[in-house]
Homo-oligomer: A and B are copies of this chain.
Amino acid sequence: MSFSPLVDQLLESLRVLPGVGPKTAQRMALHLLEREREGGRRLSAALSQAIEQVGYCQRCRTLTEETLCSVCQDPRRDETSLCVVESPADMLAIEQAGGYRGQYFVLHGHLSPLDGIGPDDIGLDQLEARLAEEPVGEIILATNPTVEGEATAHYIAEHLVGREIKISRLAYGVPMGGELEYVDGGTLSRAFQGRQPFSRD
C-alpha cells in the first residue's frame, strides 16, 4: 500500500531536495498537507517564481532576477578589486563576514577535466573579457581550499601571468575559535608557513 497517487507524486518530488530521503519526504508531505497548506501554497509559488525568473548577473554571474545583482549595481563598491568564488553561497558568506568592499566573479564550479569541465565551463572567457574592460588591480582567488579549488586557483593565476594585476589567495591557517589539538596537520603546517609578525595593536 502507498498513499494516493497525488501524495505519492509529492513524496517523489520532494526527494529532489538535497539530504531528503523517503522518510523525511513523507514527514514533509504529511506536515504540509495536514498542518501547513498555506505555507505549502506559498512554497510552491515562491519555487516556481524563482525558477522561472532567477537567472545570473551579467557581470558577476551570481543568482539574481535582475540584469545586474545588488553588489554590481552598488556604485560605492571598489572597482579595482575582484574576488573569484566557486558559488553564490561562497559570495554570500564573504559578504556576511563583512570587510570586503570589492567586486565578485562566480565560477559556478571548479575545473574538473575528468568530468569534462574546462575553463570555458566555469566562465574564464567571461572573466578575461571583464578584465579587459574594467580597471581591476587585484584578483583575490577565493576558491575552496580543496584539491579542485586549489587547481582552479592555480590555473587562473597561471593564465593571468604577464598582466599588470596583483593576484592573491585567501590566507590558510587555523580557524578562529578552534583548538589547536583538533586542527589537522595540513592546516597546521600551512599556518606555520604563513606565520605573521606579532602585532601589538
Report which of B24, B51, B89 forms a contact with A26, defined as CB distance below 8 A: B89
Question: Given contacts A7-B63, A63-B7, is CB(A47)–CB(B92) below 8 Å?
Answer: no
What residues of B have a CB within 8 angstroms of the CB of A96 in the complex?
Answer: 1
A103 to chain B, nearest CB (A): 13
Q: Chain copies in the assembly?
A: 2
Q: Which 8 pairs of residues, A with B, have the shortest CB-CB distance?
A: A16-B39, A1-B95, A13-B46, A44-B48, A44-B47, A13-B43, A4-B64, A10-B50
Flag A80-98 by CB within 8 Å of B: 1 or 0 each.
0000000111001001100
Flag A53-85 by CB within 8 Å of B: 1 or 0 each.
110000000111110011100000000000000
Interface size on A, residues (CB 8 A): 58
Distance between Cα atoms of A51 and B87 in the complex (Å): 33
Report which of B6, B17, B63 forms a contact with A65, defined as CB distance below 8 A: B6
Of all chain B residues, which has the CB nearest A49?
B6
For the complex, is A33 an interface residue (Cβ under 8 Å from B)?
yes
**A binding-site residues for B, Cβ under 8 Å:** 1-7, 9-10, 12-14, 16-19, 24, 26-34, 36-37, 39-51, 53-54, 62-66, 69-71, 87-89, 92, 95-96, 108
Distance between Cα atoms of A16 and B14 in the complex (Å): 13
Q: Which of A19, A49, A51, A70 has the most CB of B within 10 A?
A: A51
A74 to chain B, nearest CB (A): 9
Distance between Cα atoms of A24 and B18 in the complex (Å): 9
What residues of B have a CB within 8 angstroms of the CB of A62 in the complex?
Answer: 3
Distance between Cα atoms of A63 and B9 in the complex (Å): 13
Report which of B28, B29, B41, B71 forms a contact with A48, defined as CB distance below 8 A: B41
